[in-house]
Amino acid sequence: MNVMDRGVKTHSDRFRELIRNITGISLPASKVVMIDQRLRRRVVAFDLPDTESYLQLLLDGQGMEAELRLVIDLITTNTTSFFRESEHFDFLAKEALPVRLAAKGGAAGRPRFKLWSAAASEGAEAYTAAMVLAEQQKRGVQFDFAILGTDISARMVERGNEAIYSVDQLSTVPPEMVKRYFMSSRHPSVAGKVRVVPELRRYVRFRHLNLMDETYRVDRDVDLIFLRNVLIYFDAADQERVVARLAQHVAPGGYLVVGHAESMVVRSSGLKQVRPTIFQKE
């Protein structure tokens, strides 16, 4: 780079800034190879010679909003699995549920436990929670529940609502739960796929939500929020803002659960640490 170039932003710089502004995801300059790989199929779809030309079109072209939504699908990292960080689901069954049901003791009718999977990806976290809660109902605990899954990726939201997974993804699900909560079909078009049974799906719904938004259209009496493995993509200021905003949606005495690499990030007042990665609203 010669001296004259200093301060001139490349398409790649502008793109990383745009993604950061919309999603909060910090993409350091070292991620250009990853960006290149993830956008390759869009470069091909537009029959362009390289990523630079595609980014120029995306940034300066007209009517690229739908394309930008696709790009967000491609740029987000959606890694997830059933029973990921399984101690959180033990905590849900053995502590969060009884504590919250006891707190709702006086409510008329069956108490309702509300759970929000706030960076849900394709839904494994939300359906794991649904299985764990349904098992408690089966054991005779009297309650109802509702689970909301949200994600910035429209494709992930769609996948969550479809609730179709590959058989390989079930390796972390106990066999008796696989039997009870997943169904398969002999039809060749869905070979190797399973779907969550409707009896469980009815408790769970997914919708689009950007954690960078100033406010969220979500209830403010949620019993437990999973905010796992997403804060790591944000810078410190955004991490703090997101945690503070989410804390407003936790019922007093309810819980916020973060990923094992993220517990240092939660410093909001009004949240007491009860486990290394679990915080309770005072």
Ligand X SMILES: C[S@@+](CC[C@H](N)C(=O)[O-])C[C@H]1O[C@@H](n2cnc3c(N)ncnc32)[C@H](O)[C@@H]1O
Residues that bind ligand X (CB under 6 A): 23-25, 76-80, 84, 119, 121, 125, 151-153, 156, 210-212, 228-230, 233, 259
Query: Does 50 qualify as catalytic in the annotation?
Result: no
Give the active site residue among 14, 20, 36, 38: 38
SS3 (DSSP) at 61: coil
Nearest residue (CB) to ligand X, 111 versus 255: 255
Alpha helices per DSSP H over the chain: 11-23, 32-45, 51-60, 65-75, 87-91, 97-103, 124-138, 154-162, 175-181, 198-201, 236-247
- CB of residue 125 to ligand X, shortest distance in Å: 5
- Copy the structure tokens of residue 225: 């929020």
d(CA 145, CA 115): 8
Nearest residue (CB) to ligand X, 136 versus 239: 239
Nearest residue (CB) to ligand X, 152 versus 247: 152
Nearest residue (CB) to ligand X, 138 versus 217: 217
- Distance in angstroms between the alpha carbons of the first and the last residue of the chain: 54
Query: Does 38 qualify as catalytic in the annotation?
Result: yes
Cα 20 to Cα 23, 28, 71, 234, distances in angstroms: 6, 10, 13, 8
Over the Cα atoms of the chain, what is R_g? 21
- CB of residue 209 to ligand X, shortest distance in Å: 6
- CB of residue 90 to ligand X, shortest distance in Å: 16
Contacts of 202 (CB under 8 A, 6+ apart): none
Give the active site residue among 16, 73, 84, 151: 151
- CB of residue 66 to ligand X, shortest distance in Å: 17
Nearest residue (CB) to ligand X, 152 versus 200: 152
SS3 (DSSP) at 213: coil
What are the phi and psi torsion angles at 113 (to 5°)?
Answer: -95, 125
- CB of residue 83 to ligand X, shortest distance in Å: 10
Alpha helices per DSSP H over 142-230: 154-162, 175-181, 198-201
Nearest residue (CB) to ligand X, 153 versus 280: 153
- CB of residue 208 to ligand X, shortest distance in Å: 9
Q: Would you say 264 and 236 are in contact if contact means Cβ atoms under 8 Å apart?
A: no
Catalytic residue annotation: 38, 151
